[in-house]
Structure 1
Amino acid sequence: MEFYLSKKNFLKIINLKKNINIKIKFITITYNNFKLNKKIINYFLKKKKKILPHIICKNNIKNFNYLINMYYINNIKNLMIIKGDEKISNFYYCYNFLNIIKNNYKNLFKIYLGLYAEFHQNNLNNIFDFKNNIIKKNIFLKSIFISQYIYDFNSYCYFYDDLSKIKKNIKIIPGIMPINNLKKVISFSNICKSNLPVWLVKKLSNNFFKKKNFNKINIEINCNIIYKMNKFKINFIHFYTMNNTKLINNIFSFLINNFNF
């Protein structure tokens, strides 16, 4: 489950967190400012929750070492490393960070990596690039992968099949993101060349100004994807909450009432 952290919504997240009725395996935090993260990290740690702060591959080596050291000192031993969306950065690929962690921290951290089940905006050769990284950088194989959101389950199946041909038993946790803002999802999906089914866009667009209908359809769409994932023997799902835990709870209530979860 992912939260976006900022100075404005810090208290809001804590209040929302109290309303979550589902079992959470871990919480990822997107904001990269350690001083701000520390408050909510300590809050979740007291609740005995597993925390995965994001580290984006755009930091210079000084900032990167600072973040790693601070997280280690504060007993954070799980990290989620993502490439980010910038074309030019000090560490363009995740394995730049992974090598530093491997060399300087040995096996002190458990690493999670972000990936796209379809395409990243800067890389349309998704599988080819992933295959090269796995072959050249074996440290990838020790990591757990968390995918970006998907709305077409077939896309995930094709991606998983391709990865299985490269390496068996790769651990991938698929991402689910309820649609809070349809226009932003359409825009981001176009940038990343992600498959956003036409029927989904039409169905939500037709009910855009009918909040009750929009939320109901939104829940049904995500629940159908989760149901298919469950049939595919996927045991864990990463929710991009957009800080809307009420909607996440509604999704799980729907699953329990309609799919016998």
Structure 2
Amino acid sequence: MKPIEISFEFFPPKTPEGIEKLRETRKQLALLKPKFVSVTFGAGGSTQQGTLDTVLEMAADGLEAAPHLSCIGSSKDSLRGILNQYRSHGIRHIVALRGDLPSGMGEVGELRYASELVSFIRAEHGDWFWIEVAGYPEYHPQSRSPKHDLENFARKVKAGANSAITQYFFNADAYFRFVDDARKLGVDVPIVPGIMPITNFSQLMRFSEMCGAEVPRWVARRLESFGDDREAIRAFGLDVVTGLCQRLVDAGVPGLHFYTLNASAATKAICERLGV
């Protein structure tokens, strides 16, 4: 069996302590030899400099680093400037997203959808960038319907994406159905499942509410029953997420993309259990 390809998502730290923590996390996770690492981009480009700095530091360490780029709230000129900057530093991998409009910002920007951003990147830079887009197995919380969301996903891919990473989920069947439905619409790129390690119950429920990911009732009730027992939450979370990953790997997924939240312990433990 061929080795599982893994990748990790980080966010740009905002404090000196956060920078040191991420450096240590990166050092630990680099030992797992990820295919690439991605770095998030704040709403409306609010962490633009932090994203660039983090990406360049990781690239200097020999990691293939892929900055996130979102188009909502941005002009074509500002996006052009960011893309040119990445290209000038030899960055060839990008995660193209619609993004969220920051609160208080009224301007949507010149590009409203991720499909338009992908087309824009291709028009400006041809095949220079390997472009990832996002997929939503349980459909995007702002989408009108699952069908509409799936059509949007297909549109993004056909605009020129090379591969896709999904929002995290805990129901493998939702992912399998999403991939099957996407294939029926002619999507033929790899669709890599996004994986969220479980380490904190309230944080998990808050994130899941925001992004439309469903936490199965039995998982939520069990986590809730542990109260403040962090070790019990981590141990149970490790079992649940490793089981999910094993099922995905057994089904032949093209890789696993971990939402690390800039911490290494849970992701590392899952990967070790999987034999990565």
1:106 to 126, 130, 134: 126
Q: Is the 8 A contact 1:53 1:80 kept in 2?
A: yes
For 2:156 and 2:23, locate their aligned partners in 1 and report how far apart those are by CA, in whole Å.
42
- The equivalent residue for 1:216 is 235
- Post-superposition shift, 1:159? 1.0
C-alpha spacing 1:104/1:248, structure 2 compared with 1 (3 Å): same
Match of 1:208, SS? coil
Q: Is the 8 A contact 1:82 1:115 kept in 2?
A: no
Q: Is the 8 A contact 1:127 1:162 kept in 2?
A: no
CA offsets 1:76-115 (integer angstroms, 9 cap, x no match):
1111011223397222211211222122211111111112
- Post-superposition shift, 1:133? 6.1
Q: State yes or no: 1:73 paired with 2:93.
A: no
Runs (5+) with no aligned partner, structure 2: 1-7
Q: State yes or no: 1:18 paired with 2:32.
A: no
Q: State yes or no: 1:51 paired with 2:65.
A: yes
- Post-superposition shift, 1:219? 0.6
1:41 to 50, 55, 65: 55
CA offsets 1:196-255 (integer angstroms, 9 cap, x no match):
200000111111311111110111111001000011101311000001112211222233
Task: Point out 4+ residue stretches in structure 1 off by more than 6 angstroms.
Answer: none
For 1:72 and 1:79, locate their aligned partners in 2 and report how far apart those are by CA, in whole Å.
10
- Post-superposition shift, 1:173? 0.7
Match of 2:198, SS? coil
- The equivalent residue for 2:4 is none
Which amino acid counterpart does residue 213 of structure 1 have in structure 2? A
- The equivalent residue for 2:205 is 186
- Post-superposition shift, 1:135? 5.9
Which amino acid counterpart does residue 39 of structure 1 have in structure 2? D
Runs (5+) with no aligned partner, structure 1: none
Which amino acid counterpart does residue 194 of structure 2 have in structure 1? G
- Aligned-residue sequence identity (percent) comes to 22
C-alpha spacing 1:206/1:228, structure 2 compared with 1 (3 Å): same
Q: Is the 8 A contact 2:199 2:230 kept in 1?
A: no
Q: Is the 8 A contact 2:13 2:22 kept in 1?
A: no
For 1:150 and 1:136, locate their aligned partners in 2 and report how far apart those are by CA, in whole Å.
21
1:160 to 168, 172, 179: 179
Match of 2:68, SS? strand
- Post-superposition shift, 1:183? 2.2
CA offsets 1:130-180 (integer angstroms, 9 cap, x no match):
32663698324x421100101111111111121121125331011001123
Alignment size in residue pairs: 256
Which amino acid counterpart does residue 57 of structure 1 have in structure 2? C
Which amino acid counterpart does residue 14 of structure 2 have in structure 1? K
Q: Is the 8 A contact 1:85 1:122 kept in 2?
A: no
Which amino acid counterpart does residue 27 of structure 2 have in structure 1? K
Match of 2:252, SS? coil
